[in-house]
Structure 1
Amino acid sequence: MRQVDYRGLAALDAVIDYGSFDKAAAALSITQSAVSQRIRMLENSAGELLIVRSQPPSPTEAGQRLIAHYRQVRLLEAALFERPEVGEAKPEIAIAVNADSAATWLQEAVTPLMSSGDCMLHIRLDDQDHTLTMLREGRVFGCVTSETAQVAGTTSTPLGVMRYLCVASPAFAARWFPDGMTSMAVQQAPVLEFDRKDMLQERFIAQRTGYTAHYPHHAFASSDGFVRFVEAGFGYGMLPILQCEPALKAGTLVDLTPGDYLDVPLIWHMWDIQTPFTRLLSDNVISTARKWLL
């Protein structure tokens, strides 16, 4: 049976996590040449390339599998000890969530874990249609996603539905949508989207008007800033009702399509790794999401 070189795995993980050999060496308290040597030995043992020497370095498919294994082993090892000794690295858990969950209900879910200081949580943001890729590649322990595909070795739990409304400032609505949201209007009015992965607006426009071609749009990848930009009249956009309800009540935003909305089911996927920290995190994510989502 082939023996796993965990010093080599630690070096591999650090290079990818920190984005350079220099920073990985500093994190591991060894020299850069030692990091390179450990990875070369690991690649010789594996019989294939594990890192693409780009800027920043990126793992090959085989390298990503080894990193996923290493991170799962670290989580399991952390469960063997109630608390790390002084000077010993604390266990880390990485999760991926969509920005709208991070801006609304996630803080309540992670408070018990993060406030204790016994475990370090790394929260990575991506579109809800893409977070499952991070889980599949082993980059995170769990993710909030809209995808229903099952990944071997993981469990999935429905969280509820995040409802999105199409909103704008009153002045913007009066200027660009005097006759409501029509296919002609959406070809002229600037949309505010989160980033190139954001498909919510495209889906809603097609659902509402049947229009599926190009429309003008701005992009601003900040969930909190997104609300302020829409309120400022820079564009119209899709916002979760959890986030825009106060502005709707205050009159700084208006619903462009009253009674029409877009529902996005969210699911919690996690590797089947049972430790006190992962159980606490998972239980809180599920219970908090179900408290706030439809």
Structure 2
Amino acid sequence: MSVLDYRGLAALDAVVEQGGFERAATALSITQSAVSHRLRALEEATGELLVIRSQPPQATARGHRLIAHYRQVLLLEAGLNAQAPEPAALPQLAIASNADSAATWLLEALASVLTEPACRVDVLLDDQDQTLRQLREGRVVGCITSSPDAVAGTSVVSLGIMSYRCVATPVFARRWFPDGLNPQSAAKAPAVIYNRSDTLHARYLAQMGLNENVPHSYFPSSEGFVAFVQAGFGYGMAPVIQVREELADGRLLDLAPGTQVDVALYWHRWNIETALTRTLNDAIVATAAKWLQQDRASIL
């Protein structure tokens, strides 16, 4: 395909982003049949299927690459616009983040591109081991991930270390761990894990030489996870920066003082240089430096 049809790319992006042809039509202020026609014309021009007609529609690998290209072009065009756009025309920056970063320091970083406002944001939450996939598929302009491996067309910078401790309330600890965290107590005590992709608890138990198969609940919310533990329903791995005060005043106990799981975080971003992306990238790195460990020393 020698010349890209940007009306077709806009339709492709809208169908996937909005989750359907009807919503895409509303977002683009055209008819549903026009969306279908533009997408079909784009697929005929590329000679490939770009969207799997499921519920909701899913982009194919080529579709994701074209969406990524289209969003990069939109960012570049926004950077060329010297005048402040109308609110409805504000560019959108989509980024992927682990939930614990989103619950603690990420909003402070995003304030730099939201206060004027300079753009809109779309924050996609996933496990820190999974967010890089969002960047590879072109869904986001940047991601916070535990992987240091760069993707073609992107840059990567180290953000720091997020440390996790195994915590519980004093009442929970007295009931379930009267003799400390050991093979017998771990086999019976109810744990809480963020979601099925979360490996932190298993990594911690393996590090302690304990069986990774323990009774557990799932609670896929960073704030809700900590509230779950504080309510005495389970014990689990919490980021130190999120429970520092609770550990200091005794509302939560570290079940194995001196033992933690350190997760190194990295910021991956498209190699797109505009005033907006530079502001976002600088803010992400600077804010992370304030909140995250920059070495392996204890932060308590």
TM-score, normalised to structure 2, is: 0.95
More displaced stretch, 249-258 vs 138-147: 249-258
Which position in structure 2 is the counterpart of 1:55? 55
Give how far 1:22 is off: 0.6
Which position in structure 1 is the counterpart of 2:37? 37
Give how far 1:115 is off: 1.4
Q: Tell me, in whole angstroms, the C-alpha distance in 2 between the residues paired with 1:91 and 1:33.
A: 26
- What letter corresponds to residue 65 of structure 2 in structure 1? R
Alpha carbons 1:144, 1:267 under 8 Å: kept: yes
Cα deviation code 1:231-264 (max 9, x no counterpart): 1111101011100111112221110010111100
Alpha carbons 1:83, 1:118 under 8 Å: kept: no
Cα deviation code 1:15-70 (max 9, x no counterpart): 10010111000000001111001000000001011100000000111111111111
Which position in structure 1 is the counterpart of 2:78? 78
Query: Alignment identity in percent?
Result: 55
Which position in structure 2 is the counterpart of 1:268? 267
Output aligned runs, 1:52-131, within 5 Å: 52-86=52-86, 89-131=89-131
Which position in structure 1 is the counterpart of 2:288? 289
TM-score, normalised to structure 1, is: 0.97
Distance 1:191 1:83, change over 3 A: farther
Aligned length: 293
Which position in structure 2 is the counterpart of 1:147? 147
Unaligned runs of 5+ in 2: 294-300
Cα deviation code 1:153-204 (max 9, x no counterpart): 1110001100101000111111111111112222211111111111100100
Give how far 1:208 is off: 0.9
- What letter corresponds to residue 258 of structure 1 in structure 2? P
Which position in structure 2 is the counterpart of 1:242? 241
Q: Tell me, in whole angstroms, the C-alpha distance in 2 between the residues paired with 1:95 and 1:82.
A: 24
Alpha carbons 1:181, 1:209 under 8 Å: kept: no
| Other structure's SS at 2:56 match | coil
Q: Tell me, in whole angstroms, the C-alpha distance in 1 between the residues paired with 2:274 and 2:262.
A: 33
Unaligned runs of 5+ in 1: none
Q: Tell me, in whole angstroms, the C-alpha distance in 2 between the residues paired with 1:89 and 1:14.
A: 15
Q: CA RMSD in A?
A: 1.2
Q: Tell me, in whole angstroms, the C-alpha distance in 2 between the residues paired with 1:124 and 1:87.
A: 22
- What letter corresponds to residue 67 of structure 2 in structure 1? I
